[in-house]
Amino acid sequence: MPKVTFILPGGEERTIEAQVGQSVMRVAVSHMVPGIIGECGGGMVCATCHVKVAETWAKRIGSPGRLEDEMLDLTELERGPTSRLGCQITMTAEIDGLAVYVPGT
Ligand code: FES
């Protein structure tokens, strides 16, 4: 199973095994990672699943689509160049080891 590491404000890291096909938001919510709420359940209308993809992964994960990009403008904490909505990143074997920052870091 692919793993994803959440880097929390303050630097604590939580590495979690995800199911293939599960979104980063679902992984975080099901393991109670603080700072990721996923209020809309992945409908791309709340932006409470904002993460900043680690630089080393940014190219592989890619840029947000147009709607996602618009939603990222509404995030509570300022977006960065690698910001994505966690509900729009799907875990696959190819991205095993993905690292994302929880906003506030
Ligand atoms: Fe609402 Fe991602 S869970 S936008």
Q: Name all domains of the chain by residue range, CATH numbers in brackets.
A: 3-101 (3.10.20.30)
Is 48 near ligand 1, meaning CB less than 6 Å away?
yes
Burial environment of residue 76 by CB neighbours within 10 A (0 to 12, 13 to 18, 19 or more): exposed
Q: Are 101 and 52 in contact (CB under 8 A)?
A: yes
* Substitution candidate for ligand 1 out of 49, 69, 100 with most atoms within 8 A of CB: 49
| pTM of the predicted model as reported, rounded to 2 decimal places | 0.95
- Tens digit of pLDDT for each residue in 7-44? 999 999 999 999 999 999 999 999 999 999 999 999 99
